[in-house]
Amino acid sequence: MNIRFSAPALIFFFIGGMMYISLNATAGEFQGSITSESRFFPVAPLYPEQHGHNLSLSLQGKYRHDWPSRNEYIVFSPFLRLDQHDNLRTHADIRELYWHKSASKWELRLGLCKVFWGVTESQHLVDIINQTDAVEGLSSTPKLGQLMLNFSWIQDWGTFDFYVMPMFRERTFTGRRGRFRTPVPISDNETHYESSAREWHTDFAIRYSHYFGNWDVGVSHFSGTSRSPRYLAHIFGIAISSDSPWANLTGGRIDSPLIRLLSSIPTARLIPYYDQIEQTGIDLQYILGEWTLKLEAIHRSGQERTYTAATGGIEHTFYSVFNSPIDVTAILEYMWDSRGSHALTPMQNDFFFGTRIAFNDVQSTSIVSGTIVDAATGSTAFGIEASRRIGSDWKASIEARIFANIPSNDILTTIHKDDYIQAKLTWYF
């Protein structure tokens, strides 16, 4: 089995492993979970090298050691996945490996960290610090650890977070034999960057966040390497660069007419291109009794034309329905992107309807579902997941995902045969 490690990942794994061993001798414990995942794809794949069934095993660990008297701690969270068919999905990452210090008015974090910004459920526009571990799947959005220095300045009237990020992590992509792939394979060996510093460009970000009565407010700005790439076509040994007139033919999208044409050429491949961008974001949440109103909006420049995108909606929980212990939450959100059909995302004029049923029983049984419908084309992506605990250390879940009415010019067309049913079993140690 071919496990791929990038050089930085290997270095951090080594350091992390050494730290773990040295600290384990003194105190603390290593906790985590092992998950087996079995996916069944009922529809025949688009490409012959793909499979109808896939098994996978993943490990998520966490180690934390505290020095309470110094208000310091370190965290180490490694991740490893082994995949039956897709050698690119077999991968390792350090989700977290950082040192943290806190004082009364500030906090400092140094290392590989996780950061989450935002309030909406259907997509996370504002959340930009960490790269998406896209090879993991469609439903959850795990993120790769981001190397950073994060200083938080904490005042009664809000928190300012400053981020300095000296190293960029590339997005992970499904391999040739995996499902949810592009028609033309993506080659991350030849990644292009706008910055001559490539992945060593230093990115900066700042965020203000606070709550006022029933309001939660966040305002952020990011300056640096875009986490989401555009794609360049690479054909007969020639990369069509971003400043050539050919680049526009691909439109940066994986489903453009040119790329569909290229998919018939065996040596053709797509190369991710990471622009330098400026992105300002705002996230708002207002709570009114059992109602929650949410809004996220971004303004981005530097990635082709400047654009604005927003997600907004409402959430309501019906507690103890029909005098049972069951709570039902309903979510309605709308996703908009000013680029319209030129957007690099399929969520540019779409509605999201989600429900969450919490049975509030001893096993914490829950059923979560979500449907995204394109307001113009009616293309639909539907997902549902039921989960429950078994005993005290196990958890089982079943998930299904269905794509319907996908028109040929929708980005989702590349995965429209990838409906699946998935069973997962997790053991926590």
Partner 1 sequence: MKKIRLLQKHSLFCLLIALCILMGGIAAEELSPEERGLQIAQAAWEGDTGYGDSISELYMTLRLGSGQDAKRELRIRTLEVSDRETRAMVIFDTPADVRGTALLSHSFTDKSDTQWLYLPEIRREKRIAGGGRSGPFMGSEFSFEDMSSQRVEKFTYKYIADEVLNGITCHVIERYPVEKGSGYTKQVAWLDTKHLRVQKVDYYDRRSELLKTLSSHGYEQHEEKYWRPTTMEMLNHKTGRSTLLEWRNTKFNNGFTTRDFEPNALRNAR
Residue with Cβ nearer partner 1 (115 or 144): 115
Smallest Cα–Cα separation from 169: which of 95, 266, 221?
95
On whether the CB atoms of residues 97 and 76 are closer than 8 A, the answer is yes
Closest by Cα among 196, 195, 198, 186 to 231: 186
Cβ proximity to partner 1: between 176 and 210 the closer is 210
CA distance 377 to 383: 19
Write down the least CB distance from residue 307 to partner 1, Å. 26
- Residue closer to partner 1 by CB (options 83, 127) is 127
Nearer to partner 1, 107 or 188 (CB): 107
Closest by CA to 373, choosing from 423, 330, 333, is 333
Q: d(Cα 308, Cα 327) in Å, to the nearest integer?
A: 35
Nearer to partner 1, 143 or 253 (CB): 143
Cβ-based nearer residue to partner 1, 287 or 384:
287
Give residue 199's region: left, alpha or beta (phi > 0; psi -120 to 50).
alpha
Backbone angles phi, psi at 235, to 5 degrees: -140, 135
What is the closest distance, in whole angstroms, from the C-beta atom of residue 288 to partner 1 in the complex? 8
Read off the tokens for 423: 């069973």
Nearer to partner 1, 256 or 285 (CB): 285
Shortest separation between residue 202's beta carbon and partner 1, angstroms: 23
Q: Least Å distance between CB 291 and partner 1?
A: 7
In the complex with partner 1, the residue whose CB is nearer, 120 or 414, is 120
The two three-digit tokens of residue 44, written as one number? 């025949």
Minimum gap (Å) between residue 41 Cβ and partner 1: 26
Query: What Å distances lie between residue 213 and 153, 166, 285, CA to CA?
Result: 21, 37, 11
Taking the least distance from each CB to partner 1, the nearer of 203 and 315 is: 315
Q: How far is the CB of 137 from partner 1 (least distance, A)?
A: 14
- Token pair of 216 as six digits: 């939660």
Q: How far is the CB of 121 from partner 1 (least distance, A)?
A: 10
Rounded to an integer, what distance in angstroms lies between the CA atom of residue 334 and that of residue 336?
7
Least separation, in Å, of the C-beta of 282 and partner 1?
A: 16
Chain residues that interact with partner 1, rule: CB under 8 A = 31, 33, 62, 64, 66, 73, 100, 102, 104, 107, 114-116, 119, 143, 152, 154, 159, 209, 211, 216, 285, 287, 289-292, 315, 317, 319-320, 323, 325, 327, 360-364, 389, 392-393, 395, 426, 428-429
Taking alpha carbons only, the member of 422, 406, 344, 396 closest to residue 136 is: 422
The nearer residue to partner 1, 380 or 397, going by C-beta atoms, is 397
State the greatest distance between any 2 C-alpha atoms of the chain, in Å, as a whole number: 67
Q: Is 255 left (phi over 0), alpha (psi -120 to 50) or beta?
A: alpha
User: How far apart are the two ends of the chain, measured CA to CA in Å?
Assistant: 26
Round to whole Å and give the CA distance between 404 and 381: 6
Structure token digits, residue 35: 């998950």
Q: Closer CB to partner 1, residue 14 or residue 116?
A: 116
Q: Least CB distance from residue 285 to partner 1, whole Å?
A: 6
- What ranges make up the beta strands (E) of 42-191? 53-67, 72-83, 91-102, 106-113, 146-155, 158-165
The C-alpha atoms of residue 69 and residue 152 are separated, in whole angstroms, by: 20
Tokens of 198: 């490539």
The Cα 3–Cα 1 span in angstroms is 6
Shortest Å, Cβ 293 to partner 1:
10
CB of 216 to partner 1, least distance (A): 5
Q: Are the beta carbons of 111 and 98 closer than 8 angstroms?
A: yes
